[in-house]
Structure 1
Amino acid sequence: MKLAARDLGFSDCRICRADEPWAAGARLEEFVAEGRHGEMGWMEATLERRKAPTAMWPDAKSAIMLAVNYGPETDPLAQLELRAHGNISVYARGGDYHDLIKKRLKQLARAFVEMSGAEVKVFVDTAPLMEKPLAAKAGLGWQGKHTNLLSREHGSWLFLGAVLTSAALEPDAPEEDHCGSCRACLDICPTAAFPAPYQLDARRCISYLTIEHGGPIPTEFRKSMGNRIYGCDDCLAVCPWNKFASTSAEQKLWARAELKLPELEALAALDDAAFREVFSGSPIKRTGRNRMLRNVLIAIGNSGGAHLIERSVLPHLSDDDPIVRGAAIWALACLDKARFAAEREARADAETDDGVKAEWALMPI
């Protein structure tokens, strides 16, 4: 099984029991009870099924856990200085990883069924299954202080997949925690999204804010976003264990050049049809044009590029979406206070949306 997984392009394959009690369910219940999941209502709605593999599939006895290294060619932290460009999380710089992993998982699962006759179910981050705790239990790595899976071979750059089976397989040993006293991932977080080691408040996380959150970006986090327009890799990229990770062959084959560091000006010009074309086959497409444009305008406000006002900001003061209009107002206030005042004088009284009115009422930054 493990050799077959390697032949299919998986970086690692380990096994754990899926029918044993574990603490991950209680931790998830606490996370949701404290409201740290934010607007991710699906997490609360599926809580009972998500708390244990057997809650979702009572016949599950073992989990075959798979990992694919997606280590980047360049340091994502260095790209935060290129303020005229949008920084996209490494995992989203190519095709949808769900498609990449699921095809291989199905091939592996078919081979396992033919060999064992057991039942299987295949998962890639799309069902109520806690893959990171299962991966740690199987020995693929450990959940670091940033709550993501870490590996001594691949650092923080791992896609995960799972094959649950009714077969009782011999489990691998779980990996030990190797974080030690290191706090690098906690200290680098631009929005202080970690209330304590091994705990995340998604409501403060830039990945959540740029992808899952549907409303205006809270003002307290806008400056901290910098040029991050889809996700945030800071806590992953700073991890010292990444020094053992190699650039993945997957990254070289799968990443798309136009998504590695796109220009903010070009992104701001996209209408809905152009957005769909540019991000076809990408996980970013699910975010939608308006939410992405909101993020781009925040990045433009942080860019210091006053030359972007005419072509990239002013047209969006009249956008049909109030979330976009509000972000454009904030960007204008950041880039040119005098122009902001003039546009407020001309436009504020005619605005009908209360949220946008509130943006006009903010003091220039």
Structure 2
Amino acid sequence: MKRIGQAYNVYAVFIGMTSYETMGGKFRQSRITRIYCLLINAIFLTLLPSAFWKSAKLLSTADWMPSYMRVTPYIMCTINYAAIAYTLISRCYRDAMLMDLQRIVLEVNREMLRTGKKMNSLLRRMFFLKTFTLTYSCLSYILAVFIYQWKAQNWSNLCNGLLVNISLTILFVNTFFYFTSLWHIARGYDFVNQQLNEIVACQSMDLERKSKELRGLWALHRNLSYTARRINKHYGPQMLAMRFDYFIFSIINACIGTIYSTTDQEPSLEKIFGSLIYWVRSFDFFLNDYICDLVSEYQMQPKFFAPESSMSNELSSYLIYESSTRLDLLVCGLYRVNKRKWLQMVGSIVVHSSMLFQFHLVMRGGL
């Protein structure tokens, strides 16, 4: 997993998402990476408006695209550019969070190594699932340029498509940063829960050592909660932009994809490839909401111990502290991110996509 994180950090630096690179297990920033990221950000912000316009024009003039829906690619590309521009402009907040995250990751790793604790199997599976969806999405978007534009045999369109689709991977990498940040927080809370259960159950540990271990857990829990709130604060506006972009992407692509799939002039393999991109990206976004739910679940995991009369003062004080500490991961103070919110968003996407497709059916019948 460490190598996976390093590989994606290299790609994140390549597309200008961050100026910090991993060296010796720590994040380091050099003058070269700072200048490089500024140049890449300037190139994207300057060239993307024209590239998105050409891409939207190419899609809107496709033979299978209904004339009354040719404005939708322009809407989608405009929102894509706005989300990408905001993501690049807010790079300083992500870079600041990397240093805070590095400190808490090193602390959790050190404690897990000292106590011999293993990572939760659910967290391990989630990390690999997120890695798969991110890898598939990035590779598919780049490969899609050659699949859908090879017929044109136009180098200008090919380069334009590569610029657009590589820039779109910025949105995926941004959600990966958010996911891994909260994933490390969830891993820390899971360790705290495991260690607390072991301290209480261990009969051979003397009271002085138990008190010392509890104080260490208390400090770690406090640092985890502080970092989680900072992540939620700094990533909140970015995730709000990502959610709006994904919402519009899902509605428009569901309708356009349905129309595209009903045409007989396009190869079936291309239709399957496009639908897989859509569903994998949807699952990738679902994992972001799921990890938020998991962080809250681990942080609020109920503790079942001996009667209060047999508890030590340190344990009793710690449980009072933990029970009074609750994480409210609200995006910009608007809504709580969890699986239930994801299902509500999916329901809204289905409703709006159906309405858009019904509009297509009515217009087609009227022609």
Instruction: State the TM bucket, normalised to the shorter chain.
Output: under 0.3
TM-score by length of 2: 0.28
Structure with the higher helix share, 1 or 2: 2
Structure exhibiting the larger radius of gyration computed from Cα positions? 2
Structure with the higher strand share, 1 or 2: 1
TM-score by length of 1: 0.28
